[in-house]
Structure 1
Amino acid sequence: MQSLAAATPPIALGALDGRYRPVVAPLVDHLSEPALNRMRTHVEVEWLIHLTERQVVPGVRRLTDDEVTALREVVQTFGPDEIDEMAATEKVTQHDVKAVEYFLKARLRQITPAEADRGLAELIHFCCTSEDVNNLSYALMVKGAVEQVWLPRAESLLAALTTMAQDLRDVPLLAHTHGQPATPTTMGKELAVLAHRLRRQVTRVAGAEHLGKINGATGTYGAHLAAVPEADWQDISRTFVEGLGLTWNPLTTQIESHDWQAELYADVARFNRILHNLCTDVWTYISMGYFAQVRGQGTVGSSTMPHKVNPIRFENAEANLEVSNALLDVLATTLVQSRLQRDLTDSSMQRNIGTALGHSILALDNVARGLAGLDAVPEAMAADLDANWEVLGEPVQSAMRALGAQGVPGMDEPYERLKELTRGRRIGQEDLVTFVRGLGLPPEVEERIAAMTPATYVGLAPELVDHLR
């Protein structure tokens, strides 16, 4: 059999870079290997600018405005040629961060060609361990990916779900607890519950801290003090990290501890799990006929059964949420562990962040498309309500309890009397009304309860939807 490994262009091994590439492509600008090298270049450039602006090293001049602009342009124009150049350098260095350093030193010599400025290149990666650059790069990459890609997708889905809940605010629905008919609600309220749960997690994700450090090989500023003992290195570190838009971590080993990442991934995973719950609930409502799927032009539900429109968007989302959560969970578990002052488990682990978020984004896309293809079927919901008058046993016995507590005679053992009427059998409106009228209720209570139907017994469900506003 012919090998596909040498095909041109190369064939993607993973689904995200193959079948699903168009949906997750925006993450490439944030969490790919070239994006990591571009961000490393950004951090190195800003560190050089920071050191020279503050004149940390005595006798080293400030960079001119033109030189600063030219250095930042190296980052802005970072593209395929730079990716190839850096990859070639890394083949020689066998060290990714060192390749970035050499790449930038070469650019700096082009920007400041004067012989007197040759020493400026030595301030690139000055007193830095690789993790000083990497932790800041990953923090900026994750921050950008979440804020610019994941959160907008999540917010868009939430907006659609909220609108759907509001539109179905008053549509009565037979609830099911433990799979059995239960106190009616409205479809809008049930969707609102899910929207409210998702909103809380989105708020947590949006408010996440992204920590960073730049303090040397074991977090002691040892090299910094040896080189320039009179400098206030903690202040230099703090202002640099905060200037990047991150939160400064003052206490670390060689690595930034990654606790913030574990916290963030736990929140995203929790969002995913709630979204998974939405998928299974909506899938079930579709199977019960409460939602009809709008058949897209030219789509095929089943390869053999022409009548079918399968809920594939929700099933696809479930699978991708499970993959995403498996990765997010292992990221959160592994990244907070490091042997003594440093090991490299985090280095390989963090290269999976894009995949973890990619599967979540793919799920968001599928759920959004799935919800957009649904039409509520109130008639189906009404039919189930009308077939389950026994659910009104609850309000009848509750009214009797209230009256009994007030001393009204004949209201004893209400639960037991309704249990005898309703458990294990179906009753209709006539059965229930006859029973109610024989209880000896006060006239106004009797009329109110006798007029009740499963479709009107929804409590405050419609008003509860308004909490989403």
Structure 2
Amino acid sequence: MEASTFVPLRGTYRFSGFHPSITSYSHTRRHCCAALSSASTAAPTVSGSGLTCNFGPQMKPIDEAFFNLMALSPLDGRYAQKVKELQPFFSEYGLIFYRVLVEVKWLLKLSDIPEVKEVPSFSQEIRTFLENIIREFSASDALEVKKIEKVTNHDVKAVEYFLKQKCTSHSEISKVLEFFHFACTSEDINNLAYGLMLKEAMNSVMFPFMTDLCKALCTMAKDNAHVPMLSRTHGQPASPTTLGKEMANFAFRLSYQAQCLSEVRIFGKFAGAVGNYNAHKIAYPEIDWPHIAQEFVTSLGLQFNPYVTQIEPHDYMAKLFHNMVEFNNILADFDKDVWSYISLGYFKQMTKAGEIGSSTMPHKVNPIDFENSEGNLFLANAVLSALSIKLPISRMQRDLTDSTVLRNLGVGLGHSLLAYKNALQGIKKLQVNELRLVEDLELTWEVLAEPIQTVMRRYAVPEAYEKLKELTRGRAVDEESIKSFVQNLDLPEETKLNLSNLTPHLYVGEAENLAKSIDEVLSALSGFKID
């Protein structure tokens, strides 16, 4: 596995010799410098275990600034601080931690199976000792696993050897060391580790930021529900809306996709080398191993997949990432629209002392947050799409192509998280320029052609559409010409009065009410979390 937070290059492929601290710390790069710099660093909580990952005792930090300069991926360099919440999950450290968790939990499960007499029911003291390996797992432990891997050239086997080494001194556990990794293929461990990584990262990092985006847009919708705005279809002036209603559109769309994401079920398998419990059955033929596997997988907070090959087929990942792509596409649509509204002057951007918009044009305040968000969303979607297309495909009972691809989960989520944060930052800077919105509406009286011809149709005035087309298309239209046209119509006087009093600012239909009702709509879509 790779050593850095996101870049999918294994430690043996990394640069070396540029800095004295690289030799000893290169494969734990950001965790040694960032996670260990604070004993209170947030850590992942594992569903169903009640255990919390601990980055362990402090170690001498490496030169973080140097590594930021040398990082191959901007997620590990320039943007590292903005995506650090994902480091405990998708770093090399994170994967090793979850592998250790699964291996220890499996040994504990074996001790609860009466037929496995060689592993007696563990006392509370033994259980606490084993669970403390997970609770107290530190960067120095991860370094030890990597040291072992240099010899084994196998990352999962290195975890097994590390655990045996860790437990050799315990008189009781030393008797059952060979039951670490019992009847397991590496993918029994890996698929559960990745499943836990994804579930916890989504619940503790991604969903909170998705929720923040929905809430921010909901607030914009309600605050600006009454602010009329000229619509543009095909880039041309169209029937007015309100600024709040347009924000409500995005709030609803994003919330719906986040809800779809939360409904994805993350699966796990534990069925051995080709999914048939072959080794299990030979060793203990009297045990109902499919039932034991189901109990074990669900105890970790994952759904059980009973029909697998050597690998869990990753279909749930494809669904998860496809849904995330949809969420990201909607947010990119929002970024583009807000960018356009800023260009039109509908929004001003609050300035920050010292910031520079252009290196040559001092007056500029560029919409860089929305541009950065949009760019990262497309990078995220490129990776997430590739993952969702490739991962469900594996030759016969298994090939190794998914292994290297899975190492990029953090890349797709990392660029997504960066985009979410940039969009939120951009939203905080926005100020509505109501004068500019009013000005645009004052210049587009032709948009009232729609309501006038619709009322004419109600009263069976012939060729209503054609008459308004003749009045408005290719001609300058103002308040006077509209009102003059209305006065000459064969309509009831009260109807003509209502049309004469209509202005582009008032012609917004139910837009204001729709924007104000967004909380009611979103209440059914709240509480994003994968169970």
1:131 equivalent in alignment to 2:187: yes
- The corresponding residue for 1:408 is none
- Structure 1 segments of 4+ aligned residues over 4 angstroms from their partners: none
- Give distance in 2, aligned partners of 1:54 and 1:203: 39
- Give distance in 2, aligned partners of 1:140 and 1:363: 24
Give the alignment partner of residue 34 of structure 1, picking from 85, 90, 93: 93
The 3-state SS of whatever aligns with 1:375 is strand
1:398 equivalent in alignment to 2:415: no
Give runs of aligned pairs for residues 264-413 of structure 1, distance below 5 A. Answer: 264-404=320-460, 411-413=461-463
Deviations 1:291-336 (A, max 9, x none): 0000112111111111110000001111111110000000000101
Normalized against structure 2, the TM-score is what? 0.85
Amino acid in structure 2 at the alignment position of 1:463: N
Cα 1:5–1:174 change in 2 (3 A) is farther
- The corresponding residue for 1:113 is 171
- The corresponding residue for 1:428 is 478
- Give distance in 2, aligned partners of 1:259 and 1:467: 37
- Give distance in 2, aligned partners of 1:421 and 1:119: 94
1:44 equivalent in alignment to 2:103: yes
The 3-state SS of whatever aligns with 1:128 is coil
- Give distance in 2, aligned partners of 1:424 and 1:146: 53
- The corresponding residue for 1:249 is 305
- The corresponding residue for 2:489 is 439
Amino acid in structure 2 at the alignment position of 1:193: N
- The corresponding residue for 1:89 is 148
- The corresponding residue for 2:498 is 448
**Contact 1:39 / 1:137 at 8 angstroms: preserved in 2?**
yes
- Give distance in 1, aligned partners of 2:115 and 2:428: 57
The 3-state SS of whatever aligns with 1:440 is coil
Deviations 1:71-106 (A, max 9, x none): 111112211211111011001111000000011112
Give the alignment partner of residue 270 of structure 2, picking from 202, 214, 220: 214
**Contact 2:244 / 2:512 at 8 angstroms: preserved in 1?**
yes
Cα 1:373–1:56 change in 2 (3 A) is farther
- Give distance in 2, aligned partners of 1:460 and 1:289: 25
**Contact 2:118 / 2:176 at 8 angstroms: preserved in 1?**
no
- The corresponding residue for 1:20 is 79
1:230 equivalent in alignment to 2:242: no
The 3-state SS of whatever aligns with 1:175 is strand
Amino acid in structure 1 at the alignment position of 2:120: R
Give the alignment partner of residue 418 of structure 1, picking from 445, 448, 468: 468
- Give distance in 2, aligned partners of 1:279 and 1:56: 60
Residue 119 of structure 1: how far off its partner (Å)? 3.6
- Give distance in 2, aligned partners of 1:397 and 1:97: 72
Residue 56 of structure 1: how far off its partner (Å)? 4.1
- The corresponding residue for 1:64 is 123
- The corresponding residue for 1:53 is 112
- The corresponding residue for 1:157 is 213
Residue 224 of structure 1: how far off its partner (Å)? 0.7
Amino acid in structure 2 at the alignment position of 1:388: T
Deviations 1:243-301 (A, max 9, x none): 00000001001100000001001111111110000000000000000000001121111
**Contact 1:388 / 1:426 at 8 angstroms: preserved in 2?**
no
**Contact 2:104 / 2:131 at 8 angstroms: preserved in 1?**
yes
- Give distance in 1, aligned partners of 2:413 and 2:115: 39
- Give distance in 2, aligned partners of 1:161 and 1:4: 46
Amino acid in structure 1 at the alignment position of 2:147: A
- The corresponding residue for 2:26 is none
Amino acid in structure 2 at the alignment position of 1:19: R
Could you tell me which runs of 5 or more consecutive residues in structure 2 were left unpaired when the two chains were aligned: 1-14, 22-62, 520-531
**Contact 2:207 / 2:258 at 8 angstroms: preserved in 1?**
yes
The 3-state SS of whatever aligns with 2:111 is helix
- The corresponding residue for 1:99 is 158
- Give distance in 1, aligned partners of 2:115 and 2:321: 37
Amino acid in structure 2 at the alignment position of 1:384: D
Amino acid in structure 2 at the alignment position of 1:275: L
Q: RMSD of the TM alignment (CA)?
A: 1.3
Deviations 1:141-173 (A, max 9, x none): 011111111111111121111101110001000
Deviations 1:382-413 (A, max 9, x none): 11011000000000000011111xxxxxx100
The 3-state SS of whatever aligns with 2:431 is strand
The 3-state SS of whatever aligns with 1:53 is coil
Residue 67 of structure 1: how far off its partner (Å)? 1.3
The 3-state SS of whatever aligns with 2:293 is helix
**Contact 2:221 / 2:516 at 8 angstroms: preserved in 1?**
no
Give the alignment partner of residue 132 of structure 2, picking from 58, 73, 91: 73
- Give distance in 2, aligned partners of 1:134 and 1:56: 26
Give the alignment partner of residue 204 of structure 1, picking from 241, 255, 260: 260
- Give distance in 2, aligned partners of 1:385 and 1:425: 17
Could you tell me which runs of 5 or more consecutive residues in structure 1 were left unpaired when the two chains were aligned: 405-410
Amino acid in structure 1 at the alignment position of 2:467: R
Residue 39 of structure 1: how far off its partner (Å)? 0.2
- Give distance in 1, aligned partners of 2:16 and 2:433: 48
Normalized against structure 1, the TM-score is what? 0.96
The 3-state SS of whatever aligns with 2:241 is strand
Residue 60 of structure 1: how far off its partner (Å)? 2.7
- The corresponding residue for 2:513 is 463
- Give distance in 1, aligned partners of 2:268 and 2:137: 23
Residue 118 of structure 1: how far off its partner (Å)? 3.6
- The corresponding residue for 1:259 is 315
- Give distance in 2, aligned partners of 1:319 and 1:434: 50
- Percent identity for Structure 1 against Structure 2: 46
